[in-house]
Amino acid sequence: MDTKLNCALSRRAFVAGSGGFALAALVPSWPAGASAASHHTIIAAAGRVPLVGGEYPETAVWSYSGTVPGPEIRVRQGERLRATVENRLDEETTVHWHGVRVPNAMDGVPHLTQKPIAPGQTFHYEFDCPDAGTFWYHPHQRSLEQVGRGLYGPLIVEEREPVAVDRDVTWVLDDWRLRSDASISEDFGNMMDTGMAGRIGNTVTINGRLPDVFPVRASERMRLRLINAANARIFGLEFEGHQPQIIALDGQPVEPHAAEGGRVVLGPAMRADLIVDLTGAPGGRFRVIDTFYRDRAYRLVDLVYADRPLRDNLPDTPIRLPSNPLAEPDLATAQRHDVSFGGGMMGGMMGSGMRGGMGGMMDGGTMDGGMMGGMMGEMMDRMMQGMRHDGVWAVNGMSASGHVMEPMLTLSRGRTYLLALHNNTAWHHPIHLHGHSFRVVSRGGRPTRHREWQDTVLMAPDERVEIALVADNPGDWMFHCHILEHQAAGMMGVIRVA
């Protein structure tokens, strides 16, 4: 396994031989400005941040209030969040509160739920947060570039009675495509990314920094909130030597369980809350590796144990979260709808999305010429048909362009629906529904073990997944792939609840 390359750039000169210094210097710095104040001002603007660090120049980004990620917003469950967003970008923007069951007018979808915020203008968002959990916020206007350049931030809704832990830590994961001077590659929305796996980058950051070590102490219990803010990269994290328990997915509590195969899989926009018991010995060092794309595994960060334990034994207090006030779907009376996702390049050729194939595109490696030619030909055809990027991807045969469209489904308020999703493509897709959480009730025809609540469900190539929900939030809601290049190229629809 390739464990050296997280960043395409080499920071070895900086890291090598710095020993204790590295431990002190490279601790990811937690977002500044985390606050429980009831009113927040968020400024979207261009800025510079030291993504790579070492001798590398700062990276020009777009950020919220000067940091990447933007300020961590914390509210208590049931409280009202008030945020004034000021747009100092040169283009329109909006803010979407991903996963929060907001009233439709606060959902941040350009033209569908609000007029986009023009440069120099502000917009005031205000809504109650009914569910405790780990959420995030990001623009919904040209999101492939706005999110891709760094506009996103964590939103934590605290339980009234949280699980007892020594530390509550948020890791916002992102994947950047950087050039050799640490600047962002400008090729947003290119055909290759659009028709295949999306914009997979070459540098993975935690909280806006290229990480090296994360200090821990023996017998510490940590709640780790993972948020995947990447445009396209799917993470499959393994914590070597540890057995984290998943206690929430997409903010919603789940029966505590170990990740299947020891790998925490997170598609774009997805979150997982873990209880990580630090069972290693003082002075120990353990890798956190990302093995989702098996042939392109890399070391994300090392957990490094202090020389002295925090205490003698791990706590054995309960780790189950109290449930959120979600309406329980009544499957007996559910109305069923089929939803098929189609389009994209290459049939089954690189099948399980990029597995083993990413290298060619990522760091200048080569891909077989004939294969590339065939792919390009097919892609060109589709691009020509659709002019630009529209028409590359579709939901139930319809390819979206822009956010305003006739609803693909109209649901009666208060009823239960079972949506039978089929990924009829050769690629993974994280499918997100606004305004609701849904239960994932089956995969491949078999009931899921935990009937997890999600707002974004990751579908493997050709996979069938059934989700169930009570349509209890009125309005027009986006239903789309959260690989932002796929969304921009048509993999999006509107579900109306009336």
Q: What residue 483 binds from ligand C2O, Cu ion, none (CB within 5 to 8 A, per partner kind)?
A: Cu ion
Contacting residues for 374 by C-beta, under 8 A, at least 6 apart: none
Nearest 5°: phi and psi at 262?
Answer: 75, 15
Which residue, 101 or 142, has its beta carbon nearer to Cu ion?
142
Spatial contact of 484 and 492, defined as CB atoms under 8 Å apart: no
Which residue, 40 or 138, has its beta carbon nearer to ligand C2O?
138
Q: What residue 478 binds from Cu ion, ligand C2O, none (CB within 5 to 8 A, per partner kind)?
A: ligand C2O
Give the shortest CB-467-to-ligand C2O separation in angstroms: 16
Is residue 226 at the binding interface for Cu ion, with CB under 5 A as the rule? no
Contacting residues for 254 by C-beta, under 8 A, at least 6 apart: 246, 247, 248, 450, 452, 453
Q: What residue 225 binds from Cu ion, ligand C2O, none (CB within 5 to 8 A, per partner kind)?
A: none
Nearest C-alpha neighbor of 247 from the set 276, 269, 278, 275: 275
Give the shortest CB-451-to-ligand C2O separation in angstroms: 23
Under DSSP, is residue 398 helix (H, G, I), strand (E, B) or coil? Answer: strand
Which residue, 223 or 486, has its beta carbon nearer to ligand C2O?
486
Q: What residue 269 binds from ligand C2O, Cu ion, none (CB within 5 to 8 A, per partner kind)?
A: ligand C2O
Spatial contact of 325 and 465, defined as CB atoms under 8 Å apart: no
Kindly state the number of chain residues that form the binding site for Cu ion, as judged by CB under 5 A. Answer: 4
Is residue 483 at the binding interface for Cu ion, with CB under 5 A as the rule? yes
**CA distance linking residue 196 with residue 429, whole number of Å:** 11
Q: How many helices (H) and strands (E) does the chain have?
A: 7, 31
**CA distance linking residue 60 with residue 50, whole number of Å:** 9
- 10 Å CB burial of residue 113 (0-12, 13-18, 19+) is buried
Is residue 486 at the binding interface for Cu ion, with CB under 5 A as the rule? yes
Nearest C-alpha neighbor of 238 from the set 200, 288, 195: 288
Spatial contact of 42 and 70, defined as CB atoms under 8 Å apart: yes
Which residue, 65 or 143, has its beta carbon nearer to ligand C2O?
143
Segment interacting with Cu ion, rule: CB under 5 A, options 111-119, 289-297, 441-449, 480-488: 480-488
The two three-digit tokens of residue 43, written as one number: 């400024």
Cα 134 vs. chain centroid, distance in angstroms? 11
Identity of residue 303: L
Cα 61 vs. chain centroid, distance in angstroms? 18
Which residue, 177 or 486, has its beta carbon nearer to Cu ion?
486
Looking only at residues 383 through 442 of this chain, which bind Cu ion when binding is defined by CB under 5 A?
429
Q: Can you state the percent helix, strand and coil of the chain, rounding each to 5?
A: 10, 40, 50
Q: What residue 142 binds from Cu ion, ligand C2O, none (CB within 5 to 8 A, per partner kind)?
A: none
Which residue, 331 or 349, has its beta carbon nearer to Cu ion?
349
Which residue, 139 or 357, has its beta carbon nearer to ligand C2O?
139
Segment interacting with Cu ion, rule: CB under 5 A, options 84-92, 403-411, 452-460, 473-481: 473-481
Nearest C-alpha neighbor of 399 from the set 493, 268, 291: 493
Q: What residue 486 binds from Cu ion, ligand C2O, none (CB within 5 to 8 A, per partner kind)?
A: Cu ion
Give the shortest CB-333-to-ligand C2O separation in angstroms: 29
Under DSSP, is residue 8 helix (H, G, I), strand (E, B) or coil? Answer: coil
Which residue, 108 or 268, has its beta carbon nearer to Cu ion?
268
Bond preceding residue 69 cis, omega within 30 of 0:
yes
Give the shortest CB-6-to-ligand C2O separation in angstroms: 25
Taking CB atoms, the residue at the shortest distance from ligand C2O is 98
Is residue 481 at the binding interface for Cu ion, with CB under 5 A as the rule? yes
Is residue 345 at the binding interface for Cu ion, with CB under 5 A as the rule? no
Which residue, 108 or 343, has its beta carbon nearer to ligand C2O?
108
Which residues sit at the interface with ligand C2O, rule CB under 6 A?
96, 98, 138, 140, 269, 432, 434, 478, 480, 482
- By residue count, the chain amounts to 498
Q: What residue 233 binds from ligand C2O, Cu ion, none (CB within 5 to 8 A, per partner kind)?
A: none
Which residue, 225 or 434, has its beta carbon nearer to ligand C2O?
434
Cα 132 vs. chain centroid, distance in angstroms? 18
Q: What residue 199 binds from Cu ion, ligand C2O, none (CB within 5 to 8 A, per partner kind)?
A: none
Q: What residue 471 binds from Cu ion, ligand C2O, none (CB within 5 to 8 A, per partner kind)?
A: none
**CA distance linking residue 202 with residue 382, whole number of Å:** 27
Give the shortest CB-484-to-ligand C2O separation in angstroms: 9
List of residues contacting Cu ion (CB under 5 A): 429, 481, 483, 486
